[in-house]
């Protein structure tokens, strides 16, 4: 226990703010996104049983990894920052690869380009609307959170606190 006097507002050590937002976002958004990827990939590639089942199993394993990351980051113990960064990198690779698989299977649909209100007027606009913009969203989400876990004062302080606690135990 510290022997120095602390003001009441200095005892807000459990304030997790953006970390809780990160946890909620990956629990909700990433699990729903993974389920969406798995169902769309199964729709396009389910006619190849091994590939369809393999993609469903990889989605299930990824959901388990999401839950593991949530628990690790929520506890804020032992390298939760590196665990979150590792998750963000894996998330980016997983999401981009899955989206590209879906895009190239969706590309085969001849009804995407045309003059109807539900169609893209040109191939270039279809690529921008269906590939480039979703990839930008995925990458920007990952970059922003990676930068937060790299440069956040709270994450740096958590690292220092954990290092001090581990040194005290020795």
Spans of all domains in the chain: 19-163
CA distance 61 to 94: 12
- Provide the pLDDT for residue 113: 82
**Average confidence score pLDDT of the chain:** 85
CA distances from 136 to 27, 99, 155 (A): 21, 12, 26
pTM above 0.85, yes or no: no
Percent composition of the chain: helix, strand, coil (DSSP 3-state, to 5): 80, 0, 20
Is pLDDT larger for residue 76 or for residue 29?
29
Question: So what's the pLDDT on residue 46?
Answer: 86
Using pLDDT thresholds of 50, 70 and 90, give the confidence band for residue 7.
low
pLDDT, tens digit (0-9, with 9 covering 90-100), for 77-94: 778 999 999 999 999 999
Q: Which residues contact 87 (CB under 8 A, 6 or more apart)?
A: 26, 65, 66, 69, 73
Q: Which residues pair with 151 in a beta bridge?
A: none
pLDDT of 15-73, one tens digit each? 678 899 999 999 999 999 999 999 999 998 889 999 989 999 999 999 999 999 999 99
* Predicted pLDDT at 167: 52
CA–CA gap between residue 107 and residue 104 (Å, rounded): 5
């Amino acid at each position: 226990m510290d022997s120095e006097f602390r003001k009441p507002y200095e005892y807000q050590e459990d304030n997790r703010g953006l970390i809780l937002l990160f946890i909620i976002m990956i629990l909700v958004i990433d699990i729903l996104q993974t389920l969406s990827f798995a169902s769309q990939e199964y729709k396009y590639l389910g006619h190849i049983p091994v590939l369809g089942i393999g993609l469903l199993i990889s989605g299930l394993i990824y959901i388990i990894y999401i839950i593991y990351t949530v628990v690790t980051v929520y506890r804020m113990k032992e390298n939760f920052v590196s665990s979150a960064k590792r998750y963000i990198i894996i998330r980016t690779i997983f999401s981009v690869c899955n989206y590209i698989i879906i895009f190239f299977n969706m590309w085969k649909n001849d009804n995407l380009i045309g003059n109807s209100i539900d169609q893209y007027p040109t191939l270039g606009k279809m690529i921008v609307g269906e590939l480039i913009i979703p990839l930008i969203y995925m990458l920007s989400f990952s970059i922003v959170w990676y930068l937060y876990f790299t440069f956040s004062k709270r994450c740096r302080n958590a690292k220092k606190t954990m290092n001090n606690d581990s040194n005290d135990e020795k």
